[in-house]
């Protein structure tokens, strides 16, 4: 072990210990007074931590710029220890990209009727007692993650008014993107993104979260299900996508268009949305069962197979 002694202005000495296990590094903040009684000591960045500039470098490393429009799916925990948490990730993405959109889905508004149309990818019953009313400030469902909820708090954030499948957007074209969404076309903002040079950005997540694949499904002829949600005015009916559990099967088909990187411990994938949608569309036209999961208990994939026969 080697020790370094450092003299301060008042003659006091502090020791920095170096060992094979750790190096403790500190910096003195502010001017040293002639008779120093206290020192404000701020730890320097620790190896393994992810900071704002790390995220910015990682995003630029996969080719994102101020001209980029992205749909973001991210897991905060996948990065490792992030200084500043979700705010750091959101701040970096909005600083690098010209337009950012993310799902702010509110599954907590969904209703389950006692009876309904057949082959609708769900079990009917009466499980709606805990449903929340939709409201513009309703947080995204817990399963959507902390990053979309942080993006919702961005001072420039806009949100669509879909009662279950809303999106939040910041930046260029945000209002236009969101205005395209309807009850029958909940993924219209992502279709526009694909048609206008946008990218899918996956940060520490897999294609199971890749909502843009649903655009390719529907363009390939796959018909949506129907769901219902609670609003203060009425119960609203709208189109609902199939299950995404089988979406990781797309990986081999799109590996030639994926730009990969890493930020902290998170794998980064930038995927041109137009190319992704076209590949998915072609796969489903060739095989109507493509990208459906193999779980026999999955109601949505089971009924989607029935529809395609």
Does pTM top 0.75 for this prediction? yes
Q: Tell me: pLDDT of 48 over 90.
A: no
Q: Any residues with CB less than 8 A from the CB of 81 and at least 6 apart, and which?
A: 48, 49, 50, 264
Mean pLDDT across 201-229: 97
Mean pLDDT across 101-116: 96
* For the chain, percent of residues with pLDDT exceeding 90: 82
The predicted pLDDT at position 26 comes to 30
Query: Which of 20, 23, 29 is CA-nearest to residue 46?
Result: 23
Q: To the nearest whole number, what is the mean pLDDT of the chain? A: 88
Mean pLDDT across 138-152: 97
Mean pLDDT across 243-250: 98
Q: Tell me: pLDDT of 23 over 90.
A: no
The predicted pLDDT at position 249 comes to 98
User: What confidence tier does 18 reach under pLDDT thresholds 50, 70, 90?
Assistant: very low
Q: Measured in whole angstroms, how far is the alpha carbon of residue 64 from the centre of its chain? A: 16
Instruction: Considering only residues 36 and 237, tell me which one the structure prediction assigns the higher pLDDT.
Output: 237
The predicted pLDDT at position 117 comes to 92
Determine the angle formed by the axes of helices 212-219 and 273-286, rounding to 10 degrees: 40
User: What confidence tier does 78 reach under pLDDT thresholds 50, 70, 90?
Assistant: very high
User: Per-residue DSSP letters for 214-250?
Assistant: HHHHHHTTPPPEEEEEE-SS-EEEEEE----TTGGGG
183 CB-contact burial (10 Å; exposed 0-12 / middle 13-18 / buried 19+): middle
Query: How far apart, in whole angstroms, are the C-alpha atoms of residue 120 and residue 105?
Result: 20
Q: Any residues with CB less than 8 A from the CB of 28 and at least 6 apart, and which?
A: 8, 39, 40, 41
Q: Tell me: pLDDT of 6 over 70.
A: no
> For residues 268 and 274, is the Cβ–Cβ distance under 8 A?
no
The predicted pLDDT at position 294 comes to 94
Tens digits of residue pLDDT in 153-168: 999 999 999 999 999 9
Q: What share of the chain is helix, strand, coil (3-state, %, to 5)?
A: 30, 25, 45
Query: How far apart, in whole angstroms, are the C-alpha atoms of residue 120 and residue 98?
Result: 38
Mean pLDDT across 87-115: 97
Q: Tell me: pLDDT of 43 over 90.
A: no
* 154-159: long-range pairs with CB below 8 Å, 24+: 154/90, 154/94, 156/94, 159/104
Query: Residue with structure tokens 């199939």?
Result: 242
Tens digits of residue pLDDT in 94-104: 999 999 999 99
β-pairing verdict for 266-272 and 259-263? antiparallel
Q: How many CA atoms lie within 13 A of 103 on its CB side?
A: 23
Q: Tell me: pLDDT of 44 over 60.
A: no
Q: What per-residue string of b and e applies to 196-234 under the rule 16 or more CB within 10 Å gives b?
A: eebbbbbbbbbbebbbbbbbbbbbbebebbebbbbeeee
Query: Which of 24, 17, 76, 77 is CA-nearest to residue 46?
Result: 24
Mean pLDDT across 6-11: 42
Mean pLDDT across 260-273: 98
The 8-class DSSP code of residue 259 comes to: E
């Amino acid at each position: 072990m080697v020790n370094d002694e450092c003299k301060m202005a008042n003659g006091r000495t502090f020791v920095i210990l170096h060992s094979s296990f750790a190096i403790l590094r500190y910096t003195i903040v502010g001017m040293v007074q002639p008779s120093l009684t206290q020192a404000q000591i701020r730890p320097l960045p620790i190896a393994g931590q992810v900071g704002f500039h790390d995220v910015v470098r990682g995003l630029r490393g996969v080719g994102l710029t101020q001209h980029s429009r992205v749909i973001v799916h991210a897991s905060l925990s996948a990065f490792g220890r992030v200084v500043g948490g979700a705010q750091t990730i959101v701040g970096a993405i909005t600083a690098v990209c010209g337009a950012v959109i993310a799902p702010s889905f509110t599954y907590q508004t969904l209703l389950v009727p006692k009876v309904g149309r057949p082959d609708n990818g769900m079990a009917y019953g009466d499980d709606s007692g805990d449903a929340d009313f939709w409201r513009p400030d309703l947080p995204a469902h817990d399963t959507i993650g902390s990053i979309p909820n942080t993006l919702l708090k961005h001072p420039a954030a806009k949100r669509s008014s879909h009662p279950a499948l809303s999106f939040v957007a910041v930046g260029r074209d945000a209002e236009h993107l969101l205005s395209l969404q309807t009850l029958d076309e909940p993924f219209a903002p992502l279709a526009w993104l694909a048609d206008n040079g946008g990218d899918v950005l996956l940060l520490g997540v897999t294609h199971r979260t890749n909502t843009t694949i649903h655009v390719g499904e529907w363009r390939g002829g796959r018909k949506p299900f129907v769901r219902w949600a609670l609003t203060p005015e009425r119960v609203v009916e709208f189109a609902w996508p199939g299950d995404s559990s089988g979406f990781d099967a797309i990986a081999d088909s799109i590996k030639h268009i994926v730009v990969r990187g890493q930020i902290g411990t998170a794998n980064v994938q930038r995927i041109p949305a137009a190319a992704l949608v076209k590949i998915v569309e072609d796969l489903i036209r060739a095989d109507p069962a493509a990208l459906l999961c193999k779980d026999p208990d999955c109601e949505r994939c089971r009924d989607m197979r029935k529809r395609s026969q």
